[in-house]
Structure 1
Amino acid sequence: MNNARVDIDVLRVFCAPDGGHGNALGVVRDGSRFPDEAARQALAGRLGFSETVFVDDPERGVVDIYTPGRRLPFAGHPLVGVAWLLDIGIMELAVGDVFARGDGEFTWITAEPGWAPTRTLRQYALAAEVDALQTPEPGEWVYAWSWQDELAGRIRARAFPGRAEGPVEDEATGAAALLLTQRLGRALNISQGRGSQLLTAPGADGTIELGGRVRLEQTLTLPPGSPTAPAHREDPDDGP
């Protein structure tokens, strides 16, 4: 990294109707400032968000996605966030092109559910059972869910990545929502985490639209020459 400051936009993706909650996302608009995978992984680990995105070409939507521990070929909430931030209609990923659109307060992407990493989708009989779950030990990636209103397609969900680094529970998980939508074969309105909202709609061609609200929470600045930034801390009461 050269000796100029770096700004990192911190977004909240899949916010509640009042703008609260949502999953934190770090976006480095000038990805060239971190030219290799090791530098990007180090920054993502230091920031501590569930994902950090490096934008390599804002016009073509070429992005590179990292968790605190590894690089990802696809992830839902980073792409919804970047589509909103850059106001672009297509993003180029190694897995394929991801199309995006705005619709009032919502930003939507269209993706193949097969791009999503494998998750254990574990159904519970009651939403209260999902609410009462304790964080499991690191290991299996579990998306716990139950119907809140099956007729209306309303879901209660929580996500436990099973990782030793980064957040032990994801506030809102787009890739898992794609997999659940594929399994159930219908549009869903998902309440996840402390109150985030994700919307999905399956298409006739097997793709799925994934949408939600996005807001800019803050912009972090790395001073010139600094290889890392202050670690992010999830506050259980953050958001308006």
Structure 2
Amino acid sequence: MTSDPAPMSVDVISDVMCPWCFIGKRRLERAAEMAEGEFDLSVTWRPFQLDATIPAGGVDRREYLDAKFGGADQAQEAYARIGAAGASEGIDFNFEAIDVSPNTLDAHRVIRWAGGVDEATQGAVVEQLFRRFFLHGEDIGKTDVLARAAGEAGMDDALVRDLLATERDVEEVGAEAAHAAQIGVTGVPCFIFARRIAVSGAHEPETLIMAMREAAKETRAV
């Protein structure tokens, strides 16, 4: 007689303008497949802003990367490595299509609202935003783009558009992102398993499964 998979909560602290977070999502999905029968994952996406100083309208992408990496050549080198890692996970990054580095506060608000629908909808919104930004170069700081992404994920796009025109959950998202920093999160993605074991970085699925097993062991020991 086989036992049922053990429930395993996964809090993913991430930012949708972070390419490693997209890669991390794919690796978590592979880990879930590899651990099928052992763990039943329940995934919640939590906010983090890589750069909260970016203005609401975003900034020129090339100028932003040049300033961040110390020049165009250094930025190109860094993103070549990311592109290779993405390709290994089936992600065809299209960095050249991105013209704007966005402020992601509104994107995180939409992700939060999606989580209020259900886990699948939240995951679908996150996927939509990653794909729109990194594959198609869409500005995920814009209301129209966010509303369409929400609609594609099964949400009421008109309602999302209306809510984005308000201050709904601005403070809550900011507080949650601040809490991540308070508990020691300095880089993303960060995966927290069963609220016990944290893994920072887009690690391979095997590493994530090891963390799940350790979290399950600690949970059983309580």
TM over 0.5: no
Q: Give me the TM-score of the superposition, normalised by structure 2.
A: 0.30
Q: Give me the TM-score of the superposition, normalised by structure 1.
A: 0.29
Q: Which has the higher strand share?
A: 1
